[in-house]
Structure 1
Amino acid sequence: MHSVRQPAVAGLFYPGSAQQLLKDVKQLLSDASQAQQHSPIQAKAIIVPHAGYIYSGSTAAKAFSALGPKASTIKRVVMVGPAHRVKLRGLAISDVQYFRTPLGDIPIDQEANSACLNLPEVQIMDSAHWQEHSLEVQLPFLQAVLEDFSLVPVIVGDSTSAEVQALLDLLWGGPETLIVISSDLSHFHDYSTAQYIDRSTCEAIEHFDLDHIDLKQACGSIGLKALLQAAKHRNMQVHTLGLCNSGDTSGDQERVVGYGSWAFTDKTQ
């Protein structure tokens, strides 16, 4: 019998019906593709938000639609997101065999999981994954864009960007591997304050400026900074694809959450 991580936020953050979910995701991807001012950029790594689709789905879709025609070559996705529900030290992987969404089951890359356990900061902790949304909300996008692929889901707790970078370096691979970093931006400021903070964070990402990114600016800042370190080391370039906040999508501008999406490519593109 297969062990499966069941969806925790289907019907809450995104539709619980497979038919409606696929329709919504395809529409978000289509809208994002039409809005792009450039051709697909064949990203090696992306940063995406993790709120409900009505809030951040359009911003996330801009990154997933940027994977380009080589999306069919991606066979493994390494996903890194912050812990919201469970406190933990270090990084948590899961020993289930599949992660499930209404669109089907995604196999876990057990070989990569075993390799991760060679890092001292990595532990198996299924409880960190059961109710966590930061990775789950990305899965339907991946299922819509990619073909057959496996997953390496990693939840970040009390850790350092250097520890996360060690995991990214271990699993970086070639064009068969996509890195997905999940992070929202500023939380619960008024609209104009959020815009100012999030623009500053965006500029820091564009300039690989790790000193001006912290948990107050991005809840997934540890993974985000780890990706910036890894990408800078590989002389990659970053593309800002989208930047908004919940005031743009929900209308409430008193206490907003910021969202952004970025893609990282080789400088030859």
Structure 2
Amino acid sequence: MSQREMSVAGTFYPDSKSEIERYITHFNKSFSVKDENRNKIKPRAIICPHAGYIYSGFTSNLAFNLSSNKDIKRVIVFGPSHRVYIKGASIALFDTYKTPLGDLKIDLEYSKKLKEKYGFLDFNESLHKEHSTETQAPFIKNYFKEAKIIEIVYGELDFNELSKLTDELLLDKENFIVISTDLSHFYPLNEAKKLDNICLNAIASKNLELFDKGCEACGKIGVKAIIKSAIKYNFDTELLYYCTSYDKTKDDSSVVGYASALIGEKI
């Protein structure tokens, strides 16, 4: 049986079950949701960051917590490749996906069908040591305990092509999509906030053109793809939380931005 092994456990996130559970418990005690201030969305997808949990774990966890759904059969996580160049995207064709909370089953049959249908999908094993997708796996295991996972790592790719895939995935209400992205990288705090606000406003207003006026999200291709699908299906977006690495390091000279959002049907 082939397995997608952990590559960044012990660095980006804890490599022990008890420590991850401690993180999640702490995150969940750190916020309360006031429904009267929310847009009341039934989530079909989320956008969330992929830095180390000490920096962005709270932000990601919030999106997963508000999306937990026992009826979800399949979680499809999209993330940009940071270390290996690829034209197109790679879909994981392993049997299982290892996490410190226990293995996730990969929906191999479904993944193979997607690979056959979409010409930009291939399987390149070297792509599946990617932290942008792997950092989501413990949250998926915690909040979607019975669901299977599909991992897609993309590189140089037209967001319009990727959006055709997210369109199809959203037709099945047992599917849930995770779009992994951080925002601007290594700008002074004030400059980072200006750039990140472009991304946040583009998500909130579902304005595809605005993304290209200064948004520097590393996963912008994935974000634009899901926003295009949201426009097609008349889904709403709800920004949940924004922060930067400054909140942890107190160094405002060079920061990374993080945000989470829900995408789905208005209740």
Q: Which runs of 5+ in 1 are unaligned?
A: none
The TM-score, its normalising length taken from structure 2, stands at: 0.94
Q: Work out the CA distance in 2 between the residues paired with 1:60 and 1:103.
A: 17
In the other structure, the counterpart of 1:61 is 61
Q: Work out the CA distance in 2 between the residues paired with 1:105 and 1:227.
A: 27
Q: Work out the CA distance in 1 between the residues paired with 2:249 and 2:85.
A: 30
Secondary structure at 2:150's aligned position in 1? strand
How many aligned residue pairs are there?
262
Deviation at 1:41, TM superposition (A): 4.1
1:139 maps onto 2:137 in alignment: yes
Q: Deviations over 1:136-189 (max 9, x none)?
A: 111111111122010111001110101111221232243311110000001100
**Equivalent residues in 2 for 1:30-41 (5 A)?**
30-32=29-31, 34=32, 36-38=33-35, 41=41
**Equivalent residues in 2 for 1:2-151 (5 A)?**
2-32=1-31, 34=32, 36-38=33-35, 41-68=41-68, 71-117=69-115, 118-130=117-129, 132-151=130-149
Secondary structure at 1:101's aligned position in 2? coil
In the other structure, the counterpart of 2:157 is 159
Quick check: 1:46–1:63 contact (8 Å CA) kept in 2? yes
Q: Which letter maps to 2:61?
A: A
Quick check: 1:90–1:121 contact (8 Å CA) kept in 2? yes
Deviation at 1:199, TM superposition (A): 1.4
Q: Which letter maps to 2:227?
A: L
Say which is worse superposed, 91-100 or 168-177, in terms of deviation.
168-177
Q: Which letter maps to 1:182?
A: S
**Equivalent residues in 2 for 1:206-217 (5 A)?**
206-214=204-212, 217=216
In the other structure, the counterpart of 2:255 is 256
In the other structure, the counterpart of 1:196 is 194
Q: CA 1:163–1:237 in structure 2 vs 1: closer, same or farther (change >3 Å)? A: same
Quick check: 1:82–1:182 contact (8 Å CA) kept in 2? yes
Q: Work out the CA distance in 1 between the residues paired with 2:168 and 2:41.
A: 24
The TM-score, its normalising length taken from structure 1, stands at: 0.93
Q: CA 1:245–1:60 in structure 2 vs 1: closer, same or farther (change >3 Å)? A: same
Quick check: 2:41–2:265 contact (8 Å CA) kept in 1? no
Name the Cα RMSD after superposition.
1.5
Q: Deviations over 1:28-73 (max 9, x none)?
A: 13424x2x332774311000000000101111112111115xx111
Q: Work out the CA distance in 2 between the residues paired with 1:243 and 1:251.
A: 16
Q: Which letter maps to 1:89?
A: K
Quick check: 2:42–2:265 contact (8 Å CA) kept in 1? no
Q: Work out the CA distance in 1 between the residues paired with 2:25 and 2:159.
A: 33
Q: Work out the CA distance in 1 between the residues paired with 2:44 and 2:168.
A: 15
Secondary structure at 1:135's aligned position in 2? helix
Secondary structure at 1:154's aligned position in 2? strand
